[in-house]
Structure 1
Amino acid sequence: MSNSRGRGLQAGVLGTFDTVVMAVAGSAPAYSLAATTAVLVGAVGLAGPAALLYCAIPMLGIALAFSYLSRIDVNAGASYSWVGRTLHPFLGFISGWALVISATIFMVAGSLPAGSMTLALFDVRLAGDTALSTVVGAAWFVIMLLVVLGGARLTVRAQLVMSGVELAVLALFAVLALFHSDNARAFDWSWLGFSHFGGVSGFASGALIAAFYFWGWDVTSNLSEETRNSRRTTGLAGLIGVGIVFLLFEVFTIAVNVILSAQQIQDNNANVLAVLGEAVWPGWGGKLLVVSVMLSTIATLETTLIQVTRSLFAMGRDRTMPSALGRVHRTWNTPWVAITVVGAVALAMFIASNALGTVGDILSDAISAIGLQIAVYYGLAGLAVVVAYRKLLLKSAANFVLGGLWPLLGALFMFWIFVESLGRLSPAAVAIGIGGLAVGLVPMLWYWRQGSDYYRPAKLDATRTVAADYVPGGSTGAQPRSHEGLPTDF
């Protein structure tokens, strides 16, 4: 797959600890809990902890797929490149497009709570004002846009501050919740079983929402060209990130079941974590968790910007999108054209979002739509690793389970919840989710007709690795080379 001549991203900027921080920030534990808990409870009731548990198992399979694939192809496009080189270039483009469109939708779904939570620090009544929340959220988005434009090193420094405070507050309240005595109901082990789902379709709806909780850890793969020892580091960081956020999600979802009533959750659908904080620590608790959610939301805006802009950069470099998107800034070594385009589109969506309804309404449809798109590109990556490693799967038990069976089951699970959920979602959510994917057919077919080399790829094979030619400020234009020497075990 040929690349356009030009400057590369800045290689070797991030280390292992940095990428773990980015993986956790990408999943945005505090934001996901605040924005999505009411949606999850509305879909499956008390079975929220079970939905998260049974989605975490296949999600780890997808994280393993990303880990294995990142070892043989270092590419900022991640699943866009891997799926295109293993399954089919059309599927690869759709995989990349699914990430781009879901991340773009999230610019609205994420920025509105950022504005809402900021306003809640001053006056709770202002938090429900969609227009004002949009303005404040847009301001935060522009700040994060400038940070991402400044380069990976500046980005991770900002993440260390924001995510550090967020995780410290969440850890404190996880402990406080364990000792809270004023409970709405007693803990029940059935919350981790299947009895509360109300059938297979109910479980699928809960799993789709749970997928949104976890989404974002794979930002580490989009940063692979900027990470030291990335063939190992990016995948390992993704796995660690999934494990950390799973524990946080389970603890807080169980705490919500125990401490808050169904009416409290329904009345505070965009601010559940703040209500939980107030119940656990009256006076200070609500405000501290509002700060945590605000920082989490701003942090995940940053990681989402990285995912969408690096994906568009890879597409521009391969000429499957306008080649200008593959341009890199001379000073900061960041894809400045892609960042500018995403910023302009997102700000336009902020203005349009005022006509969509309340913050809670927007979040509900957006989360479900994004869930559909996540299921597509995660599922395709799970299939891609099996094809790429097909010659090595029987070489060892580790390869068979970690590089084949588990990712395959994860992929099948993602496709299953996609199909099962279609009949349960609102028309708006389905239209956003499927319509967003369908729009991608236009650039895909256009650039295929234009003769992009992406559509004539060398097959990705785990018996050979693709050599990375990405050097700081250097050319990324060389044809990727293959060579022997892939470690065959995880």
Structure 2
Amino acid sequence: MGETVSKAGERAPATSLGLLDATMVGIGAMIGAGIFVLTGLAANIAGPAVIAVFALNGVVTSFTALAYAELAAAIPRNGGGYAYVREVFSAPVSFVMGWTRWFTYMIAGALYALGFASNFVEFAHIYGFDLPGPPVVYALLVVVVFVALNALSTAASGGAETVITLVKIAILGVFVAFGLSVARVDEFQPFFPEAGPIALLPAMGLTFIAFQGYDLIATVTEEVENPTVNIPRAIILSVVVTVVVYLLVIFVAIGTLGAEALGAAGETAVARAAEGFMPTFPLVGTGAAIIAFGAVFSTISALNAVVIGSSRVAFAMGRERQLPAALGRLHHRYGTPFVGILASAAVMLVAVVVVPIQVVGNLASLFSLLGFTIVNVAVIRLRRQQPDLRRPFEMPFYPYTPILGIGCNLLLGFFIDPFTWALALGWLAVGGVVYLLLARRGYGEGERRESVIAEAEPLDLEDEHK
């Protein structure tokens, strides 16, 4: 569909993404860090129980995914969690939510770029090429490429996300198909590390960023066709598909390589596992080459998804005048949040250079956990403030679902190391300074736009069944 104009006469984002595209934004962001970057690091902490780590994180994230689905259907606006919190909380609270979500996506972009670089170098090495320069150079380059793609076209970046994600799912499918027949169950004994089941909690905190992705779907709500129906569907589909893929891949990786070797392999763990059992394919080469290629694709799609998400949060905050207004404008020619994309890219590039990959993963996970906690609170608050609001999608088992989401997210956050908390508090302090400076210029409190929740059409179940 073409360009649209809001009731206020502003240029609005074009609805260029369908259900498949929206779902692939979520899957593309999730299947990347968890499998190809953090699996080995988590195995180093939890041993064979890393498969339980991912399963439990899947359960924990499902509570918040249902919260996002309900809020996205009721508040069909770009910005995701920030937009929902802005609707039901005061300006300072919504600013903190937007500031932390923006940072989460940007720091996740650094994580995926670093993961891409490691796997790209490994991929070249498999074919006998020693690439010049350190891996960080390739991490910086891939950020620049996908920032340019997103700056020029939303449709192009969304279409690229769909193609790349489908390719990597197919590659992981090949890995699982060959690995299931040779995976050894005895590699899971003893199941827990020496520290016992308690070791699962820090590993869950580290890998929780692997389940950030479905929330990116909500950041592009206004660019999705029939969002009150398609956004909840895309969120739920992306979580289900991702959890199933994660568990299958981790089972095969541990069952063939063993948890100790998996942990030693770090960011290239899955590719190393493939070396032991996958055959050589004509033209392509070894199974390890295919998986390394899949890892490159996975980290690229995850990076593309968070570039999309981070720029939309910046766009939403600029449009609400909680950040400079330039961030909230679409480019006159390309129709993209051009300034928001460039601002997000700047932080990603700095993080790629100065922040170690494990610190990046912990930071992204911590801010995700805190942001998801607030989103669950927003569901409860909106239900109390507007009990008669027509909600096209309602989460099951309310209020137990959001309460469990709040408790689980806070528990995992508690087990993230103090250094990461110190960095997080530092970013919040920077945000406080920015808020006060903008408030002095008439920005910080924002100018609340006309509520969109009354405009959200309820889902007509009779029409759905026709």
- TM band (smaller chain): 0.7 to 0.9
Distance 1:229 1:112, change over 3 A: same
Q: Extract unaligned runs of 5+ from structure 1.
A: 357-361, 458-477
Question: Within the alignment, does 1:7 sit opposite 2:11 as a pair?
Answer: yes
Report the secondary structure of 2:332's partner residue. coil
Question: Within the alignment, does 1:335 sit opposite 2:306 as a pair?
Answer: no
Name the CA distance, whole Å, in 2 between partners of 1:330 and 1:96. Answer: 25
Report the secondary structure of 2:323's partner residue. coil
Length-normalised TM-score, structure 2: 0.87
Query: 1:288-327 maps to which residues of 2 (within 5 A)?
Result: 288-327=290-329
Bigger drift between 85-94 and 241-250 goes to 85-94
Q: Check whether the contact 2:32–2:302 (CA below 8 A) recurs between aligned residues.
A: no
Question: Within the alignment, does 1:417 sit opposite 2:412 as a pair?
Answer: yes
Distance 1:320 1:298, change over 3 A: same
Per-residue CA deviations over 1:126-173 (Å, capped at 9, x if unaligned) read 999995211122222211112111222111221222112101010111
Q: Check whether the contact 2:40–2:264 (CA below 8 A) recurs between aligned residues.
A: no
Q: Check whether the contact 1:379–1:414 (CA below 8 A) recurs between aligned residues.
A: yes
Name the CA distance, whole Å, in 2 between partners of 1:384 and 1:263. Answer: 42
Q: Which amino acid aligns with 1:118?
A: F
Q: Which amino acid aligns with 1:229?
A: N
Question: Within the alignment, does 1:405 sit opposite 2:396 as a pair?
Answer: no
Question: Within the alignment, does 1:133 sit opposite 2:138 as a pair?
Answer: no
Say which of 16, 19, 22 aligns to 2:25.
Answer: 22
Partner of 2:383: 389
Partner of 1:256: 253
Question: Within the alignment, does 1:219 sit opposite 2:210 as a pair?
Answer: no
Shift of residue 3, structure 1, vs aligned partner: 11
Q: Check whether the contact 1:25–1:299 (CA below 8 A) recurs between aligned residues.
A: yes
Name the CA distance, whole Å, in 2 between partners of 1:236 and 1:321. Answer: 31
Q: Check whether the contact 2:24–2:161 (CA below 8 A) recurs between aligned residues.
A: yes
Say which of 94, 97, 107 aligns to 1:95.
Answer: 97
Name the CA distance, whole Å, in 1 between partners of 2:342 and 2:73. Answer: 31
Per-residue CA deviations over 1:335-357 (Å, capped at 9, x if unaligned) read 0111122223333444x33xx6x
Report the secondary structure of 1:430's partner residue. helix
Distance 1:409 1:129, change over 3 A: farther
Question: Within the alignment, does 1:280 sit opposite 2:277 as a pair?
Answer: yes
Question: Within the alignment, does 1:432 sit opposite 2:423 as a pair?
Answer: yes
Question: Within the alignment, does 1:166 sit opposite 2:168 as a pair?
Answer: yes
Shift of residue 287, structure 1, vs aligned partner: 0.6
Name the CA distance, whole Å, in 2 between partners of 1:406 and 1:488. Answer: 22
Report the secondary structure of 2:330's partner residue. coil
Name the CA distance, whole Å, in 2 between partners of 1:125 and 1:287. Answer: 8
Q: Check whether the contact 2:116–2:296 (CA below 8 A) recurs between aligned residues.
A: yes
Name the CA distance, whole Å, in 2 between partners of 1:78 and 1:146. Answer: 23
Q: Which amino acid aligns with 2:11?
A: R
Q: Check whether the contact 1:265–1:272 (CA below 8 A) recurs between aligned residues.
A: yes
Bigger drift between 286-295 and 245-254 goes to 245-254
Q: Which amino acid aligns with 2:403?
A: L
Q: Check whether the contact 2:315–2:327 (CA below 8 A) recurs between aligned residues.
A: yes
Q: Check whether the contact 2:124–2:131 (CA below 8 A) recurs between aligned residues.
A: no
Distance 1:14 1:21, change over 3 A: same
Q: Which amino acid aligns with 2:362?
A: S
Length-normalised TM-score, structure 1: 0.83
Report the secondary structure of 2:266's partner residue. coil
Per-residue CA deviations over 1:293-337 (Å, capped at 9, x if unaligned) read 101111111110011100001111111111111121122210011
Per-residue CA deviations over 1:181-228 (Å, capped at 9, x if unaligned) read 5x483456x85xxx6594675332122123111111211101101111
Q: Which amino acid aligns with 2:123?
A: L
Question: Within the alignment, does 1:366 sit opposite 2:360 as a pair?
Answer: yes
Partner of 1:122: 124
Partner of 1:232: 229
Q: Check whether the contact 1:68–1:403 (CA below 8 A) recurs between aligned residues.
A: no
Shift of residue 435, structure 1, vs aligned partner: 2.3
Q: Check whether the contact 1:13–1:227 (CA below 8 A) recurs between aligned residues.
A: yes
Name the CA distance, whole Å, in 1 between partners of 2:27 and 2:53. Answer: 20
Q: Check whether the contact 1:33–1:273 (CA below 8 A) recurs between aligned residues.
A: yes
Name the CA distance, whole Å, in 1 between partners of 2:250 and 2:322. Answer: 41
Q: Extract unaligned runs of 5+ from structure 2.
A: 1-5, 281-285, 462-466
Percent identity of equivalent pairs? 21
Q: Which amino acid aligns with 2:319?
A: R
Report the secondary structure of 1:221's partner residue. helix
Name the CA distance, whole Å, in 1 between partners of 2:213 and 2:27. Answer: 8
Name the CA distance, whole Å, in 1 between partners of 2:256 and 2:337. Answer: 46
Partner of 1:483: 454
Name the CA distance, whole Å, in 1 between partners of 2:131 and 2:38. Answer: 19
